Copies of this chain bind each other. A is one copy, B any other.
Amino acid sequence: MYSQDELSQIIQNGIDTIVYSTNAPRLFDPVRYTLESGGKRVRPTLVLMATNLFTDDIIPAIGPALGLEIYHNFTLLHDDVMDKAPDRRGRPTVHVKWDDNTAILSGDAMLSMAFEHIAKTRTILLRPVLELFTRTTIEIGEGQQLDLEFESRDDVTEEEYIEMIRLKTSVLLGCALKMGAIIGEASEQDADILYRFGTDIGLAFQLQDDWLDCWGDPKTFGKRIGGDILCNKKTYLRITAEKTAQIPECSGMSEQEKIDAIKAFYIETGAEKACREKIAYYHGKAMKELSAISVADEKLALLKALAAKLENRNI
């Protein structure tokens, strides 16, 4: 089995040696800029890890793994245009450093490049991998659409919120693991177990993100504590709290006073507890799923460690 460090090195080498088309080099400057900015490379790592559960030969998974990483970065690039986000990973976003048109067009090129890399899958496995990836990319678009729609709605239910984050972020983790499993020639049953495991871990991760925005450690969270509260984002906490009570009036308060007031509101209404319980629920569900896989327990250590790390946000 490959270690986490070895997998990271393989992915970094892959990113560094991507071959770019040369007819219009400037089209790819923002693509390089986006891909070189790092991030945790969680999704390609999951692809390789899943393949490695079933075979020592992970080479055939590298192309598709890079495809998934390129795709993920494409979604960030276009989402940043739509959200008018000024920076990402400590650097100006593409539409700020260049302009909106460049961001749209180079994003489109990244989506094509993602498919180009997915297409490196061995011929015999190309159809299931391509169908999985295509369906996932459409679902992620749907998740982003729901997220945009929710901004102007006041009646979003808990179920709708969970469905939105499932589509927008969780299915890609499920897709990464299932893709790796298919390439490792896992049974359909094992591939589906990994899909559900990835999706449930993704839901736990996203709910954790909502919770950490209020109670996270500023040193490890990476974003400003209370950011969601200050921009009135509809999170799981807010949707759950508003089911039972009216959100407190915060006009005239300082930013810190507002954050404190809303955090207290989340605790009083039981939303904070409900959120922790929901995280534990999806985490438990994911682990229960995984226990049914026909892979020796010691081989699952790396996957479990990555899932645990994701939850504790230390990566």
Contacts and interface: CB of A to CB of B under 8 A. Distances in A.
Given A27-B141, A141-B108, A149-B24, A134 B163 contact: no
A99 to B, nearest CB: 10
A109 interface: yes
Contacts of A100: 100
A138 interface: yes
Contacts of A131: 119
Given A111-B108, A119-B131, A138 B82 contact: no
A26 interface: yes
A203 B83 CA distance: 39
Given A108-B111, A126-B130, A131-B119, A145 B82 contact: no
Interface in A279-300: none
Contacts of A115: 115, 130, 134, 137
Contacts of A119: 127, 130-131, 134
Interface residues of A, number: 41
Given A119-B127, A134-B119, A109 B141 contact: yes
B145 A24 contact: yes
Contacts of A127: 119, 123, 126
Given A21-B138, A23-B139, A115-B115, A104 B81 contact: yes
A139 to B, nearest CB: 6
A241 interface: no
A112 B138 contact: yes
Given A24-B141, A109-B141, A112-B134, 16 more contacts: A21-B138, A23-B139, A23-B167, A27-B142, A27-B145, A82-B101, A100-B100, A105-B144, A109-B142, A112-B137, A112-B138, A115-B134, A115-B137, A119-B130, A119-B131, A119-B134
